[in-house]
Structure 1
Amino acid sequence: MHLDLGIVASYWLVLLKGLGLTIAFTSGCAVLGSLLGFCLSLLRLSPSRWIKAPTWLYVELFRGTPLLIQLFWIFFCFPVVFRLPIPPYLSVIISLTLYMTAITSETFRGALKSISGEQHDACIALSLSPQAKILHVIFPQALLRAIPPLLSNIISLFKESALISSVGVADLMYVGQSISNSTARPLEFLTTVGIIYFLVAFPLTRLVGLVETRFLRRFAY
Protein backbone atom coordinates (compact mmCIF):
# COMPACT_ATOMS: atom_id res chain seq x y z
CA MET A 1 0.00 0.00 0.00
CA HIS A 2 1.24 3.47 -0.91
CA LEU A 3 0.09 6.87 0.34
CA ASP A 4 -2.18 8.59 -2.20
CA LEU A 5 -3.82 11.69 -0.76
CA GLY A 6 -5.32 12.50 -4.14
CA ILE A 7 -8.17 10.10 -3.41
CA VAL A 8 -9.27 12.34 -0.55
CA ALA A 9 -10.21 15.20 -2.92
CA SER A 10 -13.50 13.63 -3.96
CA TYR A 11 -14.63 13.34 -0.32
CA TRP A 12 -13.80 16.86 0.87
CA LEU A 13 -17.41 18.00 1.17
CA VAL A 14 -18.34 15.03 3.34
CA LEU A 15 -15.31 15.59 5.56
CA LEU A 16 -16.11 19.29 5.89
CA LYS A 17 -19.67 18.44 6.85
CA GLY A 18 -18.33 16.19 9.59
CA LEU A 19 -15.97 18.96 10.70
CA GLY A 20 -18.87 21.39 10.88
CA LEU A 21 -20.76 19.03 13.18
CA THR A 22 -17.67 18.59 15.36
CA ILE A 23 -17.22 22.36 15.67
CA ALA A 24 -20.93 22.82 16.41
CA PHE A 25 -20.85 20.30 19.24
CA THR A 26 -17.60 21.71 20.61
CA SER A 27 -18.66 25.36 20.54
CA GLY A 28 -22.16 24.76 21.91
CA CYS A 29 -21.03 22.51 24.76
CA ALA A 30 -18.08 24.81 25.49
CA VAL A 31 -20.34 27.84 25.97
CA LEU A 32 -22.92 25.98 28.03
CA GLY A 33 -20.27 24.15 30.06
CA SER A 34 -18.38 27.38 30.77
CA LEU A 35 -21.49 29.12 32.08
CA LEU A 36 -22.40 26.15 34.26
CA GLY A 37 -18.76 25.86 35.33
CA PHE A 38 -18.76 29.45 36.60
CA CYS A 39 -21.90 28.80 38.63
CA LEU A 40 -20.39 25.60 39.98
CA SER A 41 -17.20 27.41 40.96
CA LEU A 42 -19.25 29.83 43.08
CA LEU A 43 -20.88 26.89 44.83
CA ARG A 44 -17.47 25.31 45.46
CA LEU A 45 -16.40 28.46 47.31
CA SER A 46 -19.43 28.28 49.57
CA PRO A 47 -18.68 27.97 53.30
CA SER A 48 -21.39 25.31 53.63
CA ARG A 49 -20.12 21.73 53.60
CA TRP A 50 -23.49 20.52 52.33
CA ILE A 51 -22.88 22.53 49.15
CA LYS A 52 -19.13 22.05 48.82
CA ALA A 53 -19.16 18.26 49.26
CA PRO A 54 -21.46 17.31 46.35
CA THR A 55 -19.90 19.87 44.02
CA TRP A 56 -16.41 18.59 44.92
CA LEU A 57 -17.56 15.01 44.26
CA TYR A 58 -19.04 16.00 40.89
CA VAL A 59 -15.87 17.75 39.74
CA GLU A 60 -13.57 14.95 40.86
CA LEU A 61 -15.81 12.30 39.31
CA PHE A 62 -15.91 13.89 35.87
CA ARG A 63 -12.26 14.98 35.92
CA GLY A 64 -11.07 11.61 37.18
CA THR A 65 -12.89 9.32 34.73
CA PRO A 66 -12.38 9.02 30.96
CA LEU A 67 -14.76 10.99 28.78
CA LEU A 68 -15.42 7.84 26.75
CA ILE A 69 -16.75 6.06 29.86
CA GLN A 70 -18.98 9.03 30.65
CA LEU A 71 -20.30 9.06 27.09
CA PHE A 72 -20.98 5.32 27.11
CA TRP A 73 -22.68 5.49 30.51
CA ILE A 74 -25.05 8.26 29.44
CA PHE A 75 -25.79 6.63 26.07
CA PHE A 76 -26.09 2.99 27.16
CA CYS A 77 -26.64 2.89 30.94
CA PHE A 78 -28.82 5.95 31.56
CA PRO A 79 -31.75 4.60 29.48
CA VAL A 80 -31.54 1.26 31.30
CA VAL A 81 -31.36 2.73 34.81
CA PHE A 82 -33.95 5.49 34.36
CA ARG A 83 -36.07 3.90 31.61
CA LEU A 84 -35.59 6.98 29.47
CA PRO A 85 -34.17 6.58 25.95
CA ILE A 86 -31.66 9.22 24.88
CA PRO A 87 -30.87 9.95 21.21
CA PRO A 88 -27.16 9.88 20.30
CA TYR A 89 -26.99 13.62 19.67
CA LEU A 90 -28.51 14.42 23.06
CA SER A 91 -26.21 12.00 24.88
CA VAL A 92 -23.23 13.71 23.25
CA ILE A 93 -24.43 17.16 24.30
CA ILE A 94 -25.03 16.02 27.87
CA SER A 95 -21.71 14.22 28.25
CA LEU A 96 -19.58 16.95 26.69
CA THR A 97 -21.36 19.66 28.68
CA LEU A 98 -20.99 17.82 31.99
CA TYR A 99 -17.30 17.21 31.28
CA MET A 100 -16.72 20.84 30.27
CA THR A 101 -18.57 22.05 33.36
CA ALA A 102 -16.27 20.06 35.62
CA ILE A 103 -12.99 21.23 34.11
CA THR A 104 -14.01 24.88 33.71
CA SER A 105 -15.26 25.07 37.28
CA GLU A 106 -11.70 24.53 38.44
CA THR A 107 -10.51 27.21 36.03
CA PHE A 108 -13.00 29.73 37.37
CA ARG A 109 -12.38 28.69 40.98
CA GLY A 110 -8.71 29.55 40.59
CA ALA A 111 -9.59 32.84 38.90
CA LEU A 112 -12.06 33.74 41.65
CA LYS A 113 -9.56 32.99 44.40
CA SER A 114 -7.02 35.27 42.68
CA ILE A 115 -9.30 38.32 43.04
CA SER A 116 -8.03 40.40 45.92
CA GLY A 117 -10.02 40.95 49.09
CA GLU A 118 -10.09 44.68 48.42
CA GLN A 119 -12.51 44.06 45.56
CA HIS A 120 -14.96 42.34 47.90
CA ASP A 121 -14.52 45.06 50.52
CA ALA A 122 -15.24 47.72 47.90
CA CYS A 123 -18.48 45.98 46.95
CA ILE A 124 -19.53 45.98 50.60
CA ALA A 125 -18.61 49.67 50.95
CA LEU A 126 -20.72 50.49 47.88
CA SER A 127 -23.65 48.46 49.29
CA LEU A 128 -23.84 46.31 46.18
CA SER A 129 -26.22 43.39 46.25
CA PRO A 130 -24.70 39.89 45.91
CA GLN A 131 -26.12 39.63 42.38
CA ALA A 132 -24.66 42.99 41.32
CA LYS A 133 -21.34 42.12 42.92
CA ILE A 134 -21.06 38.84 41.01
CA LEU A 135 -22.36 40.19 37.70
CA HIS A 136 -20.58 43.55 37.50
CA VAL A 137 -17.42 43.12 39.60
CA ILE A 138 -16.44 39.50 40.15
CA PHE A 139 -17.47 37.84 36.89
CA PRO A 140 -15.71 40.28 34.48
CA GLN A 141 -12.41 40.01 36.38
CA ALA A 142 -12.67 36.23 36.74
CA LEU A 143 -13.48 35.86 33.05
CA LEU A 144 -10.45 37.89 31.98
CA ARG A 145 -8.11 35.85 34.15
CA ALA A 146 -9.69 32.57 33.06
CA ILE A 147 -9.53 33.19 29.30
CA PRO A 148 -6.19 31.40 28.59
CA PRO A 149 -7.09 28.19 30.46
CA LEU A 150 -10.63 28.36 29.07
CA LEU A 151 -9.28 28.45 25.52
CA SER A 152 -7.04 25.51 26.40
CA ASN A 153 -10.06 23.65 27.74
CA ILE A 154 -11.96 24.31 24.52
CA ILE A 155 -9.04 22.98 22.46
CA SER A 156 -8.97 19.85 24.62
CA LEU A 157 -12.73 19.45 24.22
CA PHE A 158 -12.39 19.78 20.45
CA LYS A 159 -9.85 16.96 20.35
CA GLU A 160 -11.75 14.83 22.85
CA SER A 161 -14.90 15.20 20.74
CA ALA A 162 -13.47 12.60 18.37
CA LEU A 163 -14.81 10.07 20.88
CA ILE A 164 -18.42 10.87 20.00
CA SER A 165 -18.01 8.83 16.83
CA SER A 166 -18.23 5.76 19.08
CA VAL A 167 -21.99 6.30 19.56
CA GLY A 168 -22.71 6.76 15.86
CA VAL A 169 -22.71 10.56 15.59
CA ALA A 170 -21.45 11.59 12.14
CA ASP A 171 -18.69 13.93 13.26
CA LEU A 172 -15.35 14.33 11.51
CA MET A 173 -13.85 11.18 13.05
CA TYR A 174 -16.91 9.08 12.25
CA VAL A 175 -16.96 10.28 8.65
CA GLY A 176 -13.25 9.64 8.23
CA GLN A 177 -13.55 6.13 9.62
CA SER A 178 -16.57 5.33 7.48
CA ILE A 179 -14.90 6.49 4.27
CA SER A 180 -11.66 4.68 5.10
CA ASN A 181 -13.60 1.45 5.69
CA SER A 182 -15.64 1.74 2.50
CA THR A 183 -12.64 2.62 0.32
CA ALA A 184 -10.13 0.41 2.14
CA ARG A 185 -7.80 3.42 2.34
CA PRO A 186 -7.41 4.06 6.09
CA LEU A 187 -3.94 5.53 5.71
CA GLU A 188 -5.06 8.41 3.52
CA PHE A 189 -8.30 9.29 5.27
CA LEU A 190 -7.19 8.92 8.88
CA THR A 191 -4.10 10.97 8.04
CA THR A 192 -6.34 13.62 6.51
CA VAL A 193 -8.59 13.64 9.57
CA GLY A 194 -5.54 14.11 11.80
CA ILE A 195 -4.34 16.98 9.63
CA ILE A 196 -7.76 18.67 9.82
CA TYR A 197 -7.81 18.40 13.60
CA PHE A 198 -4.33 19.91 13.70
CA LEU A 199 -5.22 22.76 11.33
CA VAL A 200 -8.11 23.75 13.58
CA ALA A 201 -6.40 23.23 16.95
CA PHE A 202 -2.99 24.74 16.19
CA PRO A 203 -4.18 28.32 15.48
CA LEU A 204 -6.21 28.17 18.69
CA THR A 205 -3.15 27.16 20.70
CA ARG A 206 -1.26 30.10 19.23
CA LEU A 207 -4.21 32.34 20.07
CA VAL A 208 -3.94 31.34 23.73
CA GLY A 209 -0.38 32.62 23.92
CA LEU A 210 -1.22 35.76 21.96
CA VAL A 211 -4.16 36.66 24.18
CA GLU A 212 -2.17 36.05 27.35
CA THR A 213 0.91 38.05 26.33
CA ARG A 214 -0.69 41.00 24.54
CA PHE A 215 -4.04 41.46 26.22
CA LEU A 216 -4.46 39.83 29.61
CA ARG A 217 -1.22 41.08 31.14
CA ARG A 218 -2.44 44.60 30.47
CA PHE A 219 -6.03 44.32 31.70
CA ALA A 220 -6.48 41.29 33.96
CA TYR A 221 -4.10 42.21 36.80
Structure 2
Amino acid sequence: MKHKEVDGIILGTLENEWDQISPFLKYGPILLCNEYHHSADITIIGYDEFEAAYMGVVHLIERGHKKIGFCFDTPYSEAQCQRKEGYLKALQDYNLHHRSEWIFGEMFNIEDGFRVFHKIKDLKDRPSAIFTGNDQVAAGIIKQAMKNGFKVPEDLAVIGFDNQLICQVVTPTITTIDIPVIELGQQAVLKIIESISGNATLNRRIIKLPTKLIIREST
Protein backbone atom coordinates (compact mmCIF):
# COMPACT_ATOMS: atom_id res chain seq x y z
CA MET A 1 0.00 0.00 0.00
CA LYS A 2 2.90 2.32 0.74
CA HIS A 3 4.06 1.95 -2.86
CA LYS A 4 0.50 2.24 -4.26
CA GLU A 5 0.38 -1.39 -5.39
CA VAL A 6 -2.91 -1.70 -3.48
CA ASP A 7 -5.36 1.02 -2.44
CA GLY A 8 -6.63 -0.54 0.79
CA ILE A 9 -6.32 -3.60 3.00
CA ILE A 10 -8.86 -5.92 4.62
CA LEU A 11 -7.19 -7.70 7.53
CA GLY A 12 -8.63 -11.12 8.35
CA THR A 13 -6.47 -11.58 11.42
CA LEU A 14 -3.96 -9.69 13.56
CA GLU A 15 -0.55 -11.32 13.60
CA ASN A 16 1.20 -8.08 14.62
CA GLU A 17 0.71 -5.55 17.38
CA TRP A 18 -1.58 -2.69 16.37
CA ASP A 19 1.15 -0.08 16.82
CA GLN A 20 3.06 -1.88 14.05
CA ILE A 21 0.08 -1.63 11.70
CA SER A 22 -1.36 1.82 12.48
CA PRO A 23 1.45 3.84 10.78
CA PHE A 24 0.28 2.44 7.44
CA LEU A 25 -3.10 4.18 7.76
CA LYS A 26 -1.53 7.28 6.25
CA TYR A 27 -1.15 5.37 2.98
CA GLY A 28 -4.74 4.15 2.69
CA PRO A 29 -7.71 2.60 4.48
CA ILE A 30 -7.43 -0.55 6.58
CA LEU A 31 -10.44 -2.56 7.74
CA LEU A 32 -10.45 -5.42 10.25
CA CYS A 33 -12.68 -8.36 9.33
CA ASN A 34 -13.59 -11.40 11.46
CA GLU A 35 -11.43 -10.25 14.36
CA TYR A 36 -11.52 -7.57 17.07
CA HIS A 37 -9.09 -5.19 18.68
CA HIS A 38 -9.79 -3.07 21.73
CA SER A 39 -8.01 0.07 20.53
CA ALA A 40 -7.63 -0.09 16.73
CA ASP A 41 -8.99 3.18 15.32
CA ILE A 42 -10.57 1.57 12.27
CA THR A 43 -13.85 -0.06 11.23
CA ILE A 44 -14.20 -3.62 12.49
CA ILE A 45 -16.69 -6.09 11.02
CA GLY A 46 -17.23 -9.44 12.71
CA TYR A 47 -19.72 -11.72 14.37
CA ASP A 48 -21.29 -11.35 17.77
CA GLU A 49 -18.92 -13.91 19.28
CA PHE A 50 -20.18 -13.42 22.83
CA GLU A 51 -23.80 -13.98 21.88
CA ALA A 52 -22.95 -16.97 19.67
CA ALA A 53 -21.25 -18.81 22.52
CA TYR A 54 -23.88 -17.75 25.03
CA MET A 55 -26.64 -19.05 22.77
CA GLY A 56 -24.89 -22.38 22.19
CA VAL A 57 -24.16 -22.99 25.87
CA VAL A 58 -27.71 -22.09 26.90
CA HIS A 59 -28.94 -24.65 24.36
CA LEU A 60 -26.81 -27.30 26.07
CA ILE A 61 -28.05 -26.23 29.49
CA GLU A 62 -31.65 -26.46 28.29
CA ARG A 63 -30.87 -30.00 27.14
CA GLY A 64 -30.08 -30.79 30.77
CA HIS A 65 -26.29 -30.49 30.79
CA LYS A 66 -24.59 -29.05 33.86
CA LYS A 67 -20.96 -29.91 33.07
CA ILE A 68 -20.01 -28.15 29.85
CA GLY A 69 -16.58 -27.87 28.25
CA PHE A 70 -15.23 -25.28 25.84
CA CYS A 71 -12.76 -25.33 22.92
CA PHE A 72 -11.11 -22.38 21.24
CA ASP A 73 -8.34 -21.90 18.71
CA THR A 74 -6.04 -18.86 18.76
CA PRO A 75 -5.36 -17.86 22.39
CA TYR A 76 -4.38 -14.25 21.60
CA SER A 77 -7.51 -13.57 19.51
CA GLU A 78 -9.86 -11.00 21.04
CA ALA A 79 -12.73 -12.62 19.14
CA GLN A 80 -11.98 -15.93 20.85
CA CYS A 81 -11.81 -14.15 24.20
CA GLN A 82 -15.29 -12.72 23.62
CA ARG A 83 -16.53 -16.20 22.76
CA LYS A 84 -15.08 -17.56 26.00
CA GLU A 85 -16.75 -14.74 27.94
CA GLY A 86 -20.09 -15.77 26.41
CA TYR A 87 -19.51 -19.35 27.55
CA LEU A 88 -18.67 -18.27 31.09
CA LYS A 89 -21.59 -15.82 31.31
CA ALA A 90 -24.09 -18.50 30.29
CA LEU A 91 -22.78 -20.79 33.02
CA GLN A 92 -22.89 -17.95 35.54
CA ASP A 93 -26.47 -17.01 34.63
CA TYR A 94 -27.57 -20.59 35.28
CA ASN A 95 -25.50 -20.96 38.46
CA LEU A 96 -23.22 -23.56 36.90
CA HIS A 97 -19.48 -23.88 37.28
CA HIS A 98 -16.64 -24.82 34.97
CA ARG A 99 -13.34 -26.53 35.60
CA SER A 100 -10.05 -25.46 34.03
CA GLU A 101 -9.51 -28.96 32.64
CA TRP A 102 -12.75 -28.63 30.66
CA ILE A 103 -11.29 -25.77 28.59
CA PHE A 104 -9.11 -26.69 25.61
CA GLY A 105 -7.05 -24.10 23.71
CA GLU A 106 -5.26 -24.06 20.36
CA MET A 107 -7.61 -26.60 18.79
CA PHE A 108 -8.00 -26.11 15.03
CA ASN A 109 -8.77 -29.32 13.11
CA ILE A 110 -10.12 -32.87 13.14
CA GLU A 111 -6.93 -34.29 14.66
CA ASP A 112 -7.18 -31.76 17.47
CA GLY A 113 -10.72 -32.99 18.02
CA PHE A 114 -9.33 -36.51 18.48
CA ARG A 115 -7.00 -35.17 21.16
CA VAL A 116 -9.76 -33.25 22.92
CA PHE A 117 -11.89 -36.37 23.18
CA HIS A 118 -9.09 -38.44 24.68
CA LYS A 119 -8.38 -35.69 27.20
CA ILE A 120 -12.06 -35.71 28.14
CA LYS A 121 -12.14 -39.51 28.35
CA ASP A 122 -9.21 -39.54 30.76
CA LEU A 123 -10.82 -37.09 33.18
CA LYS A 124 -12.32 -38.37 36.41
CA ASP A 125 -14.89 -35.58 36.32
CA ARG A 126 -15.91 -35.34 32.67
CA PRO A 127 -18.08 -32.73 30.98
CA SER A 128 -21.23 -34.19 29.44
CA ALA A 129 -21.23 -31.60 26.65
CA ILE A 130 -18.74 -29.39 24.85
CA PHE A 131 -18.94 -26.19 22.82
CA THR A 132 -16.18 -26.29 20.20
CA GLY A 133 -14.41 -23.57 18.25
CA ASN A 134 -15.18 -24.98 14.80
CA ASP A 135 -16.91 -27.84 13.02
CA GLN A 136 -13.67 -29.68 12.24
CA VAL A 137 -12.86 -30.05 15.93
CA ALA A 138 -16.46 -31.06 16.63
CA ALA A 139 -16.28 -33.76 13.94
CA GLY A 140 -13.04 -35.11 15.40
CA ILE A 141 -14.53 -35.31 18.88
CA ILE A 142 -17.63 -37.11 17.60
CA LYS A 143 -15.62 -39.57 15.51
CA GLN A 144 -13.43 -40.60 18.44
CA ALA A 145 -16.34 -40.66 20.88
CA MET A 146 -18.25 -43.11 18.69
CA LYS A 147 -15.10 -45.18 18.12
CA ASN A 148 -14.63 -45.49 21.89
CA GLY A 149 -18.18 -46.59 22.61
CA PHE A 150 -19.60 -43.22 23.62
CA LYS A 151 -23.07 -42.31 22.42
CA VAL A 152 -23.52 -38.82 20.98
CA PRO A 153 -25.38 -36.92 22.34
CA GLU A 154 -26.39 -39.24 25.21
CA ASP A 155 -22.87 -39.57 26.68
CA LEU A 156 -21.32 -36.48 25.14
CA ALA A 157 -23.18 -33.67 23.36
CA VAL A 158 -21.18 -31.58 20.89
CA ILE A 159 -21.72 -28.16 19.28
CA GLY A 160 -19.62 -26.94 16.37
CA PHE A 161 -19.08 -23.48 14.96
CA ASP A 162 -19.24 -22.18 11.33
CA ASN A 163 -21.94 -24.49 9.86
CA GLN A 164 -19.58 -26.10 7.36
CA LEU A 165 -20.74 -28.90 5.05
CA ILE A 166 -19.05 -31.48 7.30
CA CYS A 167 -21.86 -30.90 9.82
CA GLN A 168 -24.31 -32.64 7.48
CA VAL A 169 -22.12 -35.61 6.48
CA VAL A 170 -20.90 -36.67 9.92
CA THR A 171 -23.08 -39.14 11.85
CA PRO A 172 -24.68 -37.90 14.00
CA THR A 173 -25.09 -34.59 12.21
CA ILE A 174 -23.58 -31.66 14.08
CA THR A 175 -25.43 -28.92 15.91
CA THR A 176 -23.52 -25.74 15.12
CA ILE A 177 -23.46 -21.95 15.02
CA ASP A 178 -24.21 -20.59 11.56
CA ILE A 179 -22.22 -17.48 10.65
CA PRO A 180 -23.15 -15.05 7.83
CA VAL A 181 -19.80 -15.39 6.08
CA ILE A 182 -21.04 -14.09 2.70
CA GLU A 183 -22.56 -10.98 4.28
CA LEU A 184 -19.35 -10.44 6.23
CA GLY A 185 -17.26 -10.48 3.05
CA GLN A 186 -19.70 -8.29 1.15
CA GLN A 187 -19.82 -5.63 3.84
CA ALA A 188 -16.05 -5.60 4.20
CA VAL A 189 -15.49 -5.12 0.46
CA LEU A 190 -18.22 -2.49 0.10
CA LYS A 191 -16.89 -0.41 2.98
CA ILE A 192 -13.28 -0.53 1.82
CA ILE A 193 -14.38 0.49 -1.70
CA GLU A 194 -16.44 3.37 -0.29
CA SER A 195 -13.39 4.57 1.63
CA ILE A 196 -11.05 4.25 -1.35
CA SER A 197 -13.55 6.18 -3.48
CA GLY A 198 -13.64 8.97 -0.92
CA ASN A 199 -17.30 8.43 -0.04
CA ALA A 200 -16.67 7.32 3.53
CA THR A 201 -13.97 7.18 6.18
CA LEU A 202 -13.21 4.03 8.14
CA ASN A 203 -13.23 5.52 11.62
CA ARG A 204 -13.55 3.45 14.79
CA ARG A 205 -16.77 1.49 14.43
CA ILE A 206 -17.66 -2.05 15.41
CA ILE A 207 -20.22 -3.92 13.33
CA LYS A 208 -21.36 -7.24 14.81
CA LEU A 209 -23.35 -9.52 12.54
CA PRO A 210 -25.84 -11.91 14.18
CA THR A 211 -25.32 -15.68 14.24
CA LYS A 212 -27.86 -18.51 14.37
CA LEU A 213 -28.01 -21.83 16.20
CA ILE A 214 -28.59 -24.78 13.84
CA ILE A 215 -29.87 -27.71 15.89
CA ARG A 216 -29.03 -31.17 14.58
CA GLU A 217 -28.43 -34.62 16.07
CA SER A 218 -25.26 -34.07 18.13
CA THR A 219 -27.17 -32.32 20.93
- Is the pair's TM-score, using the shorter chain for normalization, greater than 0.5? no
Larger Rg: 1
The TM-score with structure 1 as length reference comes to: 0.26
- RCO higher in 1 or 2 (8 Å CA, sep ≥ 6)? 1
Structure 1 or 2: more strand by fraction: 2
The TM-score with structure 2 as length reference comes to: 0.26
